[in-house]
Amino acid sequence: MSALPRDEDCTVSPAGIDGAPVLEVRGLSKTFPVRRAPSHVALRDVSFSIARGTCLALVGESGSGKTTAARIIAGLERATSGTVVLNAARRVQMVFQDPYGSLDPRQTIGAGLHELLSLHGVRRRERAERVTKLLHDVGLDERHAGQRPKSLSGGQRQRAAIARALALEPALLILDEAVSALDVSVQAQVLNLLADIRERSDISYLFVSHDLAVVRQVSDTCVVLQHGRVVEQGPTADVLDRPEQPYTRALIDAIPRPGWRPGRRTDR
């Protein structure tokens, strides 16, 4: 694992212990300095782990710290303190809500994958075969390889972004609101794709979402964040069906249900 950028008090280390969680986060904290104002504490002593081959969901309202935690694990932010341990030699990759964040609009999908594989030492004769397989694995084909992102639908662009993230065979895939911008039918297709990928490999997911219906569908375990703190965690079914904390119950009660309309609360 390549070292993640970090502040002096944050340690990140790889390990290779058989049977250990693929990811262990211990006491993760993050404070953002604010000019002429008190510092903003985005994370406060957050700890959780992800078992190999499973999906853990980070949930909470906007500003809860879930994306900050994901970006630290991915190496895109520096933690103020805490430990992140990846118990695997392979990389962490991230899929964003907007696939334009990871796809170059000037390149065709195939050219982008070829370039990525080349940068990581894959030989020319192997790259074409790898690109074809990656596209097939995410439900695309050779004709999509010659298209630029603007020529694809939103669902196809997100599939291409997933293919790019899978190209280096990561042990952990971070999905940050990766289906929230898609319409319901396309969202279901992408979620089924992610489930199929997990079934045929030992990849683990960190799934960041505010959508509890999606979280229930895709995740094995769930961590609820409020103002940067973990307020509840456990098996997803237990957390969503038998929440112990008022904040978790409030998130569940906020889900629109049949007969719901603004200003009216329906029975659970």
Note whether residue 158 is domain-resident. Answer: yes
Same domain, 103 and 82: no
CB 76 within 8 A of CB 176: no
What is the structure's pLDDT at 116?
A: 93
Residues 177 and 260 in one domain: yes
pLDDT, position 100? 77
- Residue 188: inside a domain, yes or no? no
Q: What pLDDT is attached to residue 6?
A: 43
Query: Which CATH number characterizes residue 1's domain?
Result: 3.40.50.300
What per-residue confidence (pLDDT) applies to 261? 59
87 and 201 fall within a common domain: yes
Query: For residue 217, what are the CA distances in angstroms to 132, 191, 207, 221, 240?
Result: 29, 9, 11, 11, 11
Query: What are the structure tokens assigned to 73, written together?
Result: 């694990």
- State the angle between helix axes of 154-166 and 124-137 in degrees (0 to 180), rounded to the nearest 10: 130
Question: What domain range is 116 assigned to?
Answer: 94-167
In a domain, 67, yes or no: yes
Kindly give the residue spans of alpha helices, DSSP state H, lying in the chain.
66-74, 109-119, 124-137, 142-145, 154-166, 184-199, 212-218, 236-241, 246-253
34 shares its domain with 143: no
Number of domains observed in the structure of the chain: 2
Residue-level pLDDT at 35: 87
78 with 7, same domain: the answer is: yes
Q: What is the pLDDT of residue 7?
A: 47
Helix 154-166 crosses helix 184-199 at what angle (to 10 degrees)?
Answer: 20
Mean pLDDT per 10-residue segment, the chain (268 residues): 42 57 96 89 97 96 94 94 88 88 89 93 90 95 92 93 94 93 89 93 94 93 97 96 94 74 51
Same domain, 176 and 75: yes
Co-location of 203 and 214 in the same domain: yes
The verdict on 176 and 81 lying in the same domain is yes
pLDDT, position 5: 40
